[in-house]
Amino acid sequence: MTRIGVFGGMGPSASVDFLDKLVKLTPASRDQDHLPVIVASLPHIHDRSSAILGQGKDPLPQLLAGIEMLNKAEVGVIVIPCNSAHHWFDEMSRSSKAPLLHIAKACVAAIAPGSGARVAVLATRGALASGFYQRELLARGIDFLLPDPQGAQIHIDACIREVKAGRLDISAQHLTQACQEVVRQGATTLIMGCTEITIVRRGADVSGMVLIDSSLELARASVAFALARGWNRPGWDS
């Protein structure tokens, strides 16, 4: 049970980006200092955002099958580097033998209390309709806004779509537009609440903006969970 279980593939590039962050955040000077990780990359799960909006097939049976795969691998915690999948967080938690870390909780915890931040949530339309980011922000008393559905959100949709298609330059242009528009709406801090968005942040013009990277914050929470339990020292050296 001394292993992190990563339920990925939604999408594959976002999962690779998350794993890269996980490795870089781990304090290690040799292979043996790193954390054991089991990855289930399952890209054929039905589109999460479409399902939440009532426009696609229900992915819950496939999500539960992925959880069961990690149950059989006897992982000690499960993390899911896909924001929209957290719409079904409670159902997956009930089926999991290990605790699940919540990506929105990790992001909101990164915002300093009393900072006066006004947060914009950049996410799929499905994740926004689900409301799990809004609930976490409200619980912490943090002011927030949502992108204009006919303005910034159109660019967010395009950004995510272009990342999945591998067109990162075009995606970065859309992210720049989306960020600029939510700043004009009054945002001071931007939650990048889709793990595809975080892939292109370095290619976009986001200078002067405070960014909360959902993939990075989930990786930080994962490493902290594992290190607190000594999983980087499993006792296999003897």
Q: 41 near 7, Cβ under 8 Å?
A: no
| Size of the chain, expressed as the number of residues it contains | 238
Model-level pTM greater than 0.85? yes
DSSP 3-state assignment of 213?
A: strand
Which residue has tokens 């912490």?
Answer: 140
Q: How confident is the model at residue 114 (pLDDT cuts 50, 70, 90)?
A: confident
Residue ranges and CATH numbers for the domains of the chain are 4-102+217-228 (3.40.50.1860), 104-214 (3.40.50.1860)
Q: How confident is the model at residue 117 (pLDDT cuts 50, 70, 90)?
A: confident
Q: 148 near 70, Cβ under 8 Å?
A: no
Integer Cα distance of 156 and 226 in angstroms: 33
Write the pLDDT tens digit of every residue in 46-80: 999 999 999 999 999 999 999 999 999 999 999 99
Beta-carbon contacts of 119 under 8 Å, excluding residues fewer than 6 positions away, are: 111, 137, 142, 143, 144, 145, 187, 188, 189, 190, 191, 212
CA dihedral 140, 146, 152, 157 (to 10 degrees): 90
- Nearest to residue 89, comparing CAs of 55, 127, 54? 127
Say yes or no to pLDDT of 238 above 50. Answer: no
Write the pLDDT tens digit of every residue in 4-27: 999 999 999 999 999 999 999 999
Q: What is the pLDDT of residue 234?
A: 66
Beta pairing partners, 190: 120, 211
Q: How confident is the model at residue 237 (pLDDT cuts 50, 70, 90)?
A: very low
Integer Cα distance of 181 and 187 in angstroms: 9
